Structure 1
Amino acid sequence: MFLAVKIRKVFQYLGSTLPGLQAHQAIRLADANDDGAIDMSEISDLLRYAYNLGHVVR
């Protein structure tokens, strides 16, 4: 599971100017079971959100 703090750090690493906001939005959009975390079955929605923001992992 990926918790909000870890997701915020990922967005920060990717160069986001608003990593906390983007992490919150990512969880809101991807967390299908509303447990406050992203599990492996929800990860594709999180990645799609980050990609749509223009973030690319190399």
Structure 2
Amino acid sequence: MTHSALGFLPLLARWRENAQGRSRLARLPEGALKDLGLSKADVWAEVQKPFWKE
């Protein structure tokens, strides 16, 4: 791999983390959301974000 391609790997890893985190958030039961102080609307807003958005 070239140096520039290697520099892109952390960004790809972050995008994957974003997608996986949002997927896990979407699967949380309602009780867990309540414990976290989140509503279904909060979750919906987060999981609708593209993977490249923080």
Q: TM-score range by the shorter chain?
A: 0.3 to 0.5
Relative contact order, CA 8 A, sep 6+: which one is greater?
A: 2
Q: Considering fraction of residues, name the structure with more strand.
A: 1
- TM-score by length of structure 1 reads 0.33
Larger Rg, first or second structure (1 or 2): 2
Q: Considering fraction of residues, name the structure with more helix.
A: 2
